Structure 1
Amino acid sequence: MKIKQVKSKKERFMDLLYLGDEDEDMINKYLKKSDMFVCYEENELIGQITILRLANKIYEIKNISIYEQFQKKGYGSKLIKFIFEHYKNKASIIILGTGECDKIISFYENLGFKYFMRKRNFFIDNYDHEMYEDGTKLIDMLYFKKVI
């Protein structure tokens, strides 16, 4: 797997970004200010991760997505572990937000993230349509952090 940083024209990966966030307006709020990395396997695009500096030594993973045919093969974990290594001298804490879906929460907890906060009604207040993950309607945003 090869990982490359995208420094310009990040919007060309919008179809991939939509897999992690279904709203273009929400994506546009962070995309230009974020660092984006894409991963390839034998020159085939697999997925991406987008991370934003929030404050001194605090970064937030804003979007991570893997094309469906490559999911459940370890690429998401590899991207997050890449972020831990790449930002180890810049960040002391990496946070992320996700919907309340047991499978996704378990994925992040297995990577060492710990729950720390809930934003009530986030998906209802910030999206113009109902959002579902693995059959579960998303209402609250759960935030997780990892000290690196």
Structure 2
Amino acid sequence: MKKITFQNIFTRGHVIVENACYRQIHYPEMLMRYDSNFIEFKRMPTVETFKEVEGYLREYHLNHGQNHLKFYFPENQQPTEEIQNYLRENGYSQGFLELYGIKPQSFPVIEMNPAISIQTVTKDTLAILQQLKYQNDLVFGREFADQKANLIKKIVDEPNVQQLLAFYEGQAVGYVDLILSKDTVEIDELSVSESYQKKGIGSHLQRFAMDHYPDRMIILVADGEDTPREMYQKQQYHCFGFQYEVLKEC
């Protein structure tokens, strides 16, 4: 298997510009989705280059009714102090992501709880998934949640995505998307309802991936400043790298 990098992570969007400096991802089907509308630098830019690319993206997004700027920097590289100063002075929020992976055989053995059931989403259970995700997506606004509901309906027919629902004593309380490729299975949007957390439901969702795809590397991206990453570390996931990201409303 080739080295696992952020290029193994699925991006929902279209590459509309690519050159030696960066690639631009655009997703007209959901313009409000930051993770689908951004520029990723292929090499660390100077401040002058960043300003030039920033101006281009601002004009492009405004012309398409988008009010955000999002950039990713090359993986495993921290932005220079000069760039960080510029970002702070111009109101960007800064963060970083960590890429984790684990071979299914290394995932800890868990005690299977008969009260927990993991099921693949079908057209018969799609509405249940939409409702769960809708409630979580409302934090980003009703318009975003409505657009996301339409996206979920589209995903159910995509052969490279397996959507899962977790039930606790018959009640739908969690979900995850598994994004399938030849060598990897990416865990995406893993979520468990707050009142049902710490019951092992998240582990059961992960266990499904381990059991059904034993010959592939299971990968995921975690916020480098959030607590779920600590859970993945305890579960023996290996950190393959990091990537800085910045975001600004315009």
> Quick one: higher RCO (CA 8 Å, sep 6+), 1 or 2?
2
1:40 to 167, 176, 180: 167
Spell out the pairing of 1:1-80 with structure 2 (5 A cutoff).
1-8=116-123, 10=126, 12-17=128-133, 19=136, 28=151, 31-32=155-156, 33=158, 34-53=161-180, 55-80=181-206
Counterpart-to-counterpart distance in 2, 1:62 and 1:5? 15
Aligned residues: 122
Partners of 1:16 and 1:66 within 8 A in 2? no
Counterpart-to-counterpart distance in 2, 1:26 and 1:112? 32
Q: Give the unaligned 5+ runs of structure 2.
A: 1-115
Partners of 1:4 and 1:38 within 8 A in 2? yes
Distance 1:13 1:105, change over 3 A: same
Counterpart-to-counterpart distance in 1, 2:133 and 2:219? 18
Partners of 1:77 and 1:111 within 8 A in 2? no
The one-letter code of the counterpart of 2:174 is G
What do the CA deviations read for 1:115-147 (whole angstroms, capped 9, x no partner)?
11223216x27xx6xxxxxxxxxxxxxxxxxxx
TM-score, with length taken from structure 1: 0.66
- The alignment partner of 2:227 has SS state of helix
Counterpart-to-counterpart distance in 1, 2:173 and 2:128? 14
1:99 to 197, 201, 223: 223
Q: Identify the residue that residue 83 of structure 1 maps to in structure 2.
A: 209
Higher strand share: 1
Q: Give the unaligned 5+ runs of structure 1.
A: 129-148
Counterpart-to-counterpart distance in 1, 2:245 and 2:126? 29
Partners of 1:51 and 1:59 within 8 A in 2? yes
From the CA coordinates, give the structure whose radius of gyration is larger.
Answer: 2
Counterpart-to-counterpart distance in 2, 1:95 and 1:17? 22
Partners of 2:118 and 2:204 within 8 A in 1? no
Give the CA deviation at 1:16.
Answer: 2.9
User: Moved runs in structure 1, 4+ residues, more than 6 A?
Assistant: none
Give the CA deviation at 1:83.
Answer: 1.4
Partners of 1:10 and 1:31 within 8 A in 2? no
The one-letter code of the counterpart of 1:93 is M
- What is the alpha-carbon root mean square deviation over aligned residues? 2.9
Q: Identify the residue that residue 134 of structure 1 maps to in structure 2.
A: none
- The alignment partner of 1:115 has SS state of strand
Instruction: Say which is worse superposed, 94-103 or 13-22, in terms of deviation.
Output: 13-22
Distance 1:110 1:17, change over 3 A: farther
Distance 1:99 1:16, change over 3 A: farther
Q: Identify the residue that residue 136 of structure 1 maps to in structure 2.
A: none
The one-letter code of the counterpart of 2:213 is Y
- The alignment partner of 1:72 has SS state of coil
